[in-house]
């Protein structure tokens, strides 16, 4: 006679598994200095996502809401944790009075996004009482911000017709272009990009604005994207189009990642045939050692959160002040000098450009913490 199977309390097993999962998240948050993780759920409107406030030393955490069909909650949480930390460093290096924050919603923006979903998200933003200011990111638009603004005042990047600073992609594209020029000067002795070949991975709004500057100067472009509409826009500008996986093998002067993160890794870096990596995507390096490998290959890497800061600079000019496009453009032009500072620190200290940018950010944060402690 066989023994009966032991009774399994599924609730206890679930809570035990969840406890282990939460401990891992909290360990990650402690290691990288995150302050707060908020889970957002409203099944009736399809809202499922997370908001993270990374660091409020310099001001309220600011960052966009990314809408993306993540394969799992773990993937979404890791992405929002990494993105929020990058926002802290981005604002710190840019000299802004903002901290780092980010939100991700697990949804397909083309099929799932609705006014009700965005308003429900806005109500979660409001519960944070100003610790987090939301704006646009991948998958979200200024129209979405108008829906969010119906539920919270802690939103920036609204359309200019609504008194906001408008689409952040235009100045992000300008800053990316200026950063490329600074890198070109370091590599070739001249910041001219005329006749340079630039391979753009992703051809969304930021890449398109960057491309306009590059084409006007006389650069040659090749691009790829997973969206056919983006490829049509590239073709209309006279840009050569290749398949997504082919972009890594294009012989070019500048490789420009302008899609999602983690694209520079042990598999893709050996395929690069460029002298500079400078793109608008966040968290381009999959791991810290990838920056070391780029340096070993004599490829100059422009740290992503330094070169793509035009958007948050634009937003900062709206927060707590009457928005001025002239001021936002002038501050964005300063990305050129900021990149030069990063390159000098990298050279003087024999560290990677990624490490140099992080050091600049931490120095400003440490200085602010000392002032606050007094």
The residues annotated with a catalytic role in the active site are 102
Contact 134, 319 (CB under 8 A): no
CA dist., res. 275 & res. 272, Å (int): 9
CA dist., res. 349 & res. 347, Å (int): 6
CA dist., res. 201 & res. 204, Å (int): 9
CA dist., res. 88 & res. 83, Å (int): 9
Task: Residue 305: name the closest of 105, 128, 63, 17 by CA.
Answer: 63
Which stretches of the chain are DSSP H helices? 10-32, 73-93, 115-127, 142-149, 169-188, 205-217, 228-236, 288-296, 304-307, 310-316, 325-333, 335-349, 353-373
The strand order across the sheet containing 61-68 reads 36-42, 47-55, 99-106, 61-68, 132-136
Contact 273, 137 (CB under 8 A): no
Contact 288, 301 (CB under 8 A): no
CA dist., res. 109 & res. 36, Å (int): 25
Which stretches of 237-307 are DSSP H helices? 288-296, 304-307
Q: How far is CA 213 from CA 163, 198, 292, in A?
A: 27, 12, 30
CA dist., res. 303 & res. 89, Å (int): 11
């Amino acid at each position: 006679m066989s023994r009966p199977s032991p009774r399994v309390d599924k609730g206890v097993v679930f809570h035990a598994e969840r406890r282990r999962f939460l401990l891992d998240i909290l360990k990650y948050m402690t290691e990288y200095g995150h302050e707060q993780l908020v889970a957002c759920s409203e099944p009736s409107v399809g809202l499922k996502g997370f908001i993270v406030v990374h660091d409020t030393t310099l001001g309220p955490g600011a960052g966009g809401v990314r809408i993306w069909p993540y394969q799992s909650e773990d993937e979404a949480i890791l992405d929002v944790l990494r993105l929020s930390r990058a926002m802290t460093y981005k604002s710190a290096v840019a000299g802004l009075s903002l901290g780092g924050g980010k939100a991700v919603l697990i949804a397909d923006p083309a099929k799932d996004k609705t006014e009700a979903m965005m308003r429900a998200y806005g109500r979660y933003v409001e519960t944070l009482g100003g610790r987090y200011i939301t704006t646009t990111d991948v998958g979200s638009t200024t129209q979405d911000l108008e829906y969010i603004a119906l539920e919270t005042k802690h939103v920036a990047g609204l359309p200019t017709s609504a008194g906001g600073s408008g689409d952040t992609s235009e100045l992000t594209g300008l800053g990316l272009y200026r950063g490329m020029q600074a890198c070109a000067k370091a590599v070739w002795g001249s910041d001219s990009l005329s006749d340079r070949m630039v391979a753009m991975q992703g051809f969304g709004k930021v890449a398109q604005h960057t491309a306009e500057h590059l084409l006007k100067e006389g650069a040659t472009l090749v691009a790829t994207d997973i969206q056919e509409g983006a490829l049509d826009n590239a073709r209309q500008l006279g840009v050569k189009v290749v398949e997504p996986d082919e972009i890594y093998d294009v012989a070019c002067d500048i490789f420009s990642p302008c899609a999602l993160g983690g694209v520079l890794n042990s598999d893709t870096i050996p395929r690069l045939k460029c002298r500079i990596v400078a793109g608008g995507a966040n968290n381009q390096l999959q791991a810290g050692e990838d920056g070391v490998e780029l340096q070993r290959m004599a490829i100059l890497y422009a740290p992503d959160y330094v070169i793509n800061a035009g958007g948050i600079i634009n937003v900062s000019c709206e927060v707590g002040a009457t928005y001025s496009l002239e001021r936002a453009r002038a501050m964005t032009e300063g990305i050129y000098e900021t990149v030069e500072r990063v390159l000098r620190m990298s050279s003087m200290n024999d560290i990677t450009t990624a490490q140099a940018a992080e050091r600049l950010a931490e120095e400003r944060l440490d200085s602010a913490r000392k002032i606050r402690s007094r």
